[in-house]
Amino acid sequence: MLTTTNPATGITNETDIEQTSPAETAARAASAQLAFDTVRGSTRDWRAGLLEALADGLEHHRPALVATANDETGLGEARLNGELNRSQFQFRLFADALREGSYLEATIDHAGETPLGAAPELRRMLLPIGPVAVFGSSNFPFAFSVVGGDTASALAAGNSVVIKAHSSHPLTSQLSFSALADAASAYGAPEGILGIVYGTESGRVLVADPHIAAVGFTGSLGAGEALLAIISTRPNPIPFYGELSSLNPLIVTRAAAAERTTQIAEGLFGSFTLGAGQFCTKPGVAFVPRGASGDAILEDLRARTAAAGGMVLLNERISHSLTDILGRITNDGGANVLAVGSLAGAGILAAPTLLEIDAADFTEATAEEAFGPVLVVARFDSLEQIFHAVDAMPGSLTATIHHGDDEPDAVRQLSERIAPTVGRLVFNGFPTGVRVSWAQHHGGNWPSTNSQHSSVGVSAIRRFLRPIAFQDAPAAVLPEELREEFSSIPRRIDGVLVLPARAATSKKVIV
């Protein structure tokens, strides 16, 4: 039987959940294939209704979901209710995207004469890819786990899903899956459209299964690389969309430090300790200028860190890893410890820790992600010292620039240098907190992710779709969105974007 540990108390209890055997995992994947064969031809309206039914199902089980997740994560009811709201919103946002239809990239080039001579007719759009394996994350028991964005976007695309539950919250995963499965069944979805497996070995078996067509993963770099290695041995390697490791540098210019000293220190402390520093977008290194204003920011951070109590980590593995990484950043990376909070209390705790280094001395060894409430402050005298450190950093999900009211040249230089290394560039804000929207991009250069796609927002659906072009095809074999008379979604026809009449004349108010 699997066990579950309340990290706020350190108490471990046995569950009634067994690890899924290889045979059972294979059966889940086969069932997902049968369900996919049924739903791959479903209408966008049907799938939108399914997603809305799943969101309703989560609301019906809210009290039990939040209580169970709190026992397994120690994240608190306020945080967990907010996260469950986000999960529901993701399902409903994808339902809106399905009905709007532009995600299909429907494109028609009619046959005719071209500058290169006579050309055939081509009609192209995106179709569902097949059963998707989704790996839940430890730090977001709802938004990036069983009821998270990978599940929502894969279902929206027209696929079935088999979820690998995270070992840190098996009971939350079990209850989340039941809420979705019950809602899907009541809606009339086929059995197997959703499946779940438990245990580390089941994840390995799942990504190797021939029925699985793509993988969505949020977790550690080591685990992601291990799964990639398994996928590479398949007769037909499949797409692996991993979110893995991110340092998320934050830069404070001289003008910003002078203009907003206290606000920046307060916001930065809150950002690197939010959720005990267990956010994938946590700023791991902050560049602070030398001088009086920078000294004031550093002293404020030092005082806040020293006065902070122990913060609950999600599991013992994260705790042991954080200890090892701190040792490497100080011993190999050359960072000095400026302040450490207390460890008073029960449970799996980490003391908030503030480190300092000269930006000129920053190396690859200093640039290791510390998953927990840890911040390295790099002091700089010039932009060139920041650029030196940026060159030593791996790719990140985000970078942040705090700038003053009147320094366009510095902002431009910093933006041009750091933008090629990240997926989201934040100005005068903090990277923790990822808006779920049409314009969001939650991805970045290796090792933050291993693809150019987003795992948050509407474009996340693109991961689980594949393009197909029909050449001189009879109308009967075409999806309805590519037929000549169809006009209810945006389409590009002979190079011209054609919008539905209702879209061109209506206005939608978003609250």
- The answer to whether 136 and 164 have CB atoms below 8 angstroms apart is yes
Q: Active-site residue 243, yes or no?
A: yes
Q: What is the 3-state secondary structure (H, E, C) of 41-75?
A: CCCHHHHHHHHHHHHHHHHHCHHHHHHHHHHHHCC
What is the number of H-type helices and E-type strands within the chain?
15, 23
Residue of 83, 100, 243, 368 with catalytic role: 243
- The answer to whether 277 and 373 have CB atoms below 8 angstroms apart is yes
Of 153, 151, 154, 157, nearest in space to 104 by CA: 157
Residue of 72, 83, 280, 356 with catalytic role: 280
- The answer to whether 32 and 166 have CB atoms below 8 angstroms apart is no
Non-local (6+) Cβ contacts of 144 within 8 A are 136, 137, 150, 218, 455
Sheet strands (E) in 270-352: 285-289, 311-312, 336-340, 349-350
Q: Which element (helix H / strand E) includes 122?
A: strand 122-128
196, β-bridge pairs = 163
Q: Is 321 exposed, middle or buried (0-12, 13-18, 19+ CB in 10 A)?
A: middle
Distance, CA of 99 to chain centre: 24
Residue 150 DSSP SS3: helix
Place of tokens 């064969």: 37
Q: Active-site residue 484, yes or no?
A: no
2, 46, 86, 251 from 453: Cα distances, Å: 34, 26, 20, 25
In Å, the largest CA–CA distance within the chain is 78
- The answer to whether 276 and 313 have CB atoms below 8 angstroms apart is yes
- The answer to whether 249 and 234 have CB atoms below 8 angstroms apart is no
The angle subtended at Cα 97 by Cα 150 and Cα 479, nearest 5°, is 100
Q: What is the 3-state secondary structure (H, E, C) of 182-238?
A: HHHHHHCCCCCCEEEECCHHHHHHHHHCCCCCEEEEECCHHHHHHHHHHHHCCCCCC
Please report, to the nearest 10 degrees, the dihedral formed by the alpha carbons of residues 172, 166, 187, 214 taken in order.
170
- The answer to whether 252 and 288 have CB atoms below 8 angstroms apart is yes
Q: Which residues of 248-271 are buried (b: 16+ CB within 10 A; e: fewer)?
A: bbbbbbbbbbebbbeebbebbbeb
Instruction: Kindly report the backbone phi and psi dihedral angles of residue 382, in degrees, each rounded to the nearest multiple of 5, phi listed first.
Output: -150, 160
26 — alpha (psi -120 to 50), left (phi > 0) or beta? alpha
What are the catalytic residues? 243, 280
